[in-house]
Amino acid sequence: MYKNYIKRVLDLLMSIIIFIIFLPIIILIIIFLSCINRSIRIFYFQSRIGRSGKIFKLIKFKSMNDLKDENGNLLSDKERLTGAGIFIRRTSLDELPQLINVLIGDMSIIGPRPLLPEYLPLYNKKQIRRNEVKPGITGWSQVHGRNGLKLSRRFEYDVWYVDNISLLLDLKILCLTFKQLINNKVIVCRQDLVGVDDLNFNDRAFKKQ
């Protein structure tokens, strides 16, 4: 029962409460990013894998500007990442718009982090089980290493969560998430799997294109 109705109700309640608490900060971030990024585009939308392989648009605050070189090509991520962008990534404030994903039902507060669609055909039978539940803003693998965790280990944690999902486990993950945010060491400028991809997902995804 918890895996469905109760979890959905808790997701709605928590996302609304968090949104209300952070509303002043959200407004300040919107104003600040509009000035720093020199653009009215303050949100970043990216296709991600949802429950049962359904593709949805993940929402984040835009932490990079749109500066281009003389040929009209976007500069590198490192060159476009602003000081404000580094700050909201380190504090995970860029994740706040994903509360909208939770409210509309694409995501949960707790669950495996969603990956890019090109990785969907690359899962083995065990790894793909991480998609049996909705992806989350935070999750069991996030509180065990976040974006510095090796991909194989991350999938092990994700599948373990699917098999052991419960209210008590979700509450534990929330507590560990708050603790981690206080002492966070988030990587702020990297490709999605660079440095942690010990399954050659990037190479395999590239070869399939």
Q: Exposed, middle or buried: residue 75 (CB in 10 Å: 0-12, 13-18, 19+)?
A: middle
- The rounded distance, in Å, linking the Cα atoms of 176 and 139 is 10
Locate all alpha helices (DSSP H) within 68-150, ordered by sequence. 77-80, 83-90, 98-103
132-163, pLDDT tens digit by residue? 999 999 999 989 877 677 888 899 999 999 99
Length, in residues, of the chain: 209
Q: How confident is the model at residue 204 (pLDDT cuts 50, 70, 90)?
A: low
pLDDT of residue 39: 66
Could you count the other beta carbons within 10 Å of the beta carbon of residue 208? 10
Per-residue pLDDT for 208 more than 70?
Answer: no
26-52, pLDDT tens digit by residue? 999 988 888 876 666 889 899 999 999
In this structure, what are the phi and psi dihedrals at residue 79, rounded to the nearest 5 degrees? -75, -30
Q: Which of 134, 108, 107, 169 is nearest to 51 (CA)?
A: 134
Contact 98, 126 (CB under 8 A): no
106 vs 89 pLDDT, higher one? 106
- Domain extents in the chain: 2-208
- The rounded distance, in Å, linking the Cα atoms of 191 and 161 is 25
Contact 116, 48 (CB under 8 A): yes
pTM score over 0.85: no
Q: How confident is the model at residue 203 (pLDDT cuts 50, 70, 90)?
A: low
pLDDT of residue 187: 45
> Could you tell me the CA-to-CA distances from 151 to 62, 80, 87, 177 in Å, in that order?
25, 27, 25, 19
Per-residue pLDDT for 105 more than 50?
Answer: yes
Q: What percent of the chain stands above pLDDT 90?
A: 48
